[in-house]
């Protein structure tokens, strides 16, 4: 299964129209067969990054379904929709993702994903994009699964987890300028967010044996984004 991750730089005046285009057209159009589904529509929270950024994640059954979707956008029944949406944004950056072997999410039952809007309370996700050192990608994948994922699972069992890993991905070969890791984590305790950004990481979290320290052997650059689901996002 493939996951299409898109970062849309929306024109501020067209923010609402852009959301309507995905809610009322993209989502139900994909729902006409079981080859693809919109999973998430999220706003990059104001004050935490570039203004009017929107993140969408679309699940695609396989390579053949991806090719079919491309042809529909390039000259098929989605061409006019794509042209209109391009007029609502400054730019879009896309990448194809595949799950890491330790990712909790491996497959999606596409037929079970909602294709009509349903209002819910928004959720907040932290999306971490990681750039492992050159030549260290596979080592990062292995160590992050054996160390970081296990550490987060232990915190969850103890009731002390701020974040819950729901998925982990890598960019598919040939789909991006450099291989990346994307960690998809739901914020389970929103009230704990202020202390997280309001003070430095405690020293005990940086000691040898912690992921904060040991991961420096395989990477030292990553980017975190706080994303809020739209109230109608299929998954939340």
Is residue 98 situated within a structural domain? yes
Q: State the pLDDT at residue 193.
A: 76
Q: State the pLDDT at residue 108.
A: 97
Which domain CATH number covers 184?
Answer: 3.30.70
Same domain, 131 and 89: no
Same domain, 89 and 175: no
Helices within the chain (DSSP H only) = 15-21, 27-30, 63-75, 79-86, 137-143, 150-157, 193-198, 211-214
Is residue 150 situated within a structural domain? yes
DSSP 148: I
Which domain CATH number covers 58?
Answer: 3.30.70.100
Is residue 84 situated within a structural domain? yes
Same domain, 46 and 105: yes
Q: Domain count of the chain?
A: 2
Q: Answer for the pair 144, 131: CB distance below 8 angstroms, yes or no.
A: no
The range of the structural domain enclosing residue 154 comes to: 124-226
Q: State the pLDDT at residue 63.
A: 95
Is residue 119 situated within a structural domain? no
Is residue 86 situated within a structural domain? yes
Same domain, 58 and 83: yes
Same domain, 12 and 83: yes
Same domain, 212 and 153: yes
Helices 63-75 and 79-86, interaxial angle, to 10°?
A: 70
Same domain, 59 and 132: no
The parts of the chain modelled with pLDDT lower than 50 are: none
Is residue 206 situated within a structural domain? yes
Q: State the pLDDT at residue 49.
A: 80
Helices within 135-184 (DSSP H only) = 137-143, 150-157
Same domain, 82 and 145: no
pLDDT, tens digit, 9 for 90 and up, residues 58-99: 999 999 999 999 999 999 999 999 999 999 999 999 999 999
Is residue 232 situated within a structural domain? no
Same domain, 96 and 31: yes
Instruction: Name the domain boundary from 74, 109, 144.
Output: 109
């Amino acid at each position: 299964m493939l996951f299409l991750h898109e970062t849309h730089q929306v024109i501020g005046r067209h923010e609402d129209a852009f959301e309507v285009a995905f809610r009322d057209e993209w989502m139900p159009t994909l729902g006409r067969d079981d080859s693809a589904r919109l999973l998430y529509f999220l706003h990059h929270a104001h004050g935490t990054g570039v203004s009017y950024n929107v993140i969408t994640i679309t699940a695609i059954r396989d390579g053949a379904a991806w090719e079919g979707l491309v042809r529909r956008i390039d000259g098929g029944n989605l061409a006019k929709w794509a042209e209109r949406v391009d007029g609502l944004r400054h730019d879009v950056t896309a990448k194809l993702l595949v799950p890491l072997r330790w990712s909790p999410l491996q497959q999606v039952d596409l037929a079970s994903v909602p294709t009509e809007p349903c209002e819910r309370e928004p959720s907040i996700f932290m999306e971490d994009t990681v750039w492992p050192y050159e030549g260290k990608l596979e080592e990062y994948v292995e160590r992050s699964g054996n160390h970081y994922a296990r550490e987060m699972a232990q915190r969850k069992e103890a009731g002390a987890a701020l974040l819950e890993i729901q998925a982990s991905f890598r960019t598919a070969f040939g789909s991006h300028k450099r291989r990346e890791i994307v960690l998809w984590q739901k914020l389970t305790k929103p009230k704990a967010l202020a202390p997280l950004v309001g003070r430095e990481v405690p020293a005990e979290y940086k000691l040898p044996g912690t992921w904060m320290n040991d991961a420096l052997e395989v990477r030292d650059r990553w980017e975190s984004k706080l994303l809020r689901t739209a109230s109608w996002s299929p998954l939340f």
